[in-house]
Amino acid sequence: MAFMPPVGPQGTQQPPGSPPPQMVPPRPLTSSTLAIDPGAISRCMFRMTYIWPRSGPGFWFYPVFLGRTSISGFRWNGFFWMFAGFDLARIDAFTCV
């Protein structure tokens, strides 16, 4: 199941109009799965989502497209939103607000 991204006046995908929350949400309990299920993360589409990757620091993400094995959208770099994509197997935990 794939979700179509929002489109702007030029047909481009649009990031959120504001920064993410300043606080980091509580981390959910980590499961022993090999990859995040697309059905589980689909409820976070077009919502501010905090992602804890399997390696590296967590970050705010605004998903706009979900495939069977990957997700793409806008990642907050601390100053502005940048388009990025990730393999669902690289995500350890997530929560959306």
Give 57-97 pLDDT, tens digit per residue.
Answer: 999 999 999 999 999 999 999 999 999 999 999 999 999 99
Give 9-59 pLDDT, tens digit per residue.
Answer: 444 579 999 999 999 999 987 665 677 889 999 999 999 999 999 999 999
| Confidence category of residue 8, pLDDT binned at 50, 70, 90 | very low
Tell me the two tokens of residue 38: 């697309």
Res. 2: pLDDT tops 60: no
Q: What is the pLDDT of residue 13?
A: 79
Tell me the two tokens of residue 3: 């979700």
Separation CA 89–CA 92 (nearest Å): 8
Residues in the chain, total: 97
Separation CA 28–CA 95 (nearest Å): 7
39 DSSP assignment? H
Q: What is the pLDDT of residue 39?
A: 92
Q: What is the pLDDT of residue 80?
A: 97
Separation CA 23–CA 83 (nearest Å): 22
- What are the residues whose beta carbons fall under 8 Å from the beta carbon of 34, sequence distance 6 or more? 89
At the second CATH level, the architecture of 38-96 is Roll (2.30)
Domain edges within the chain: 38-96
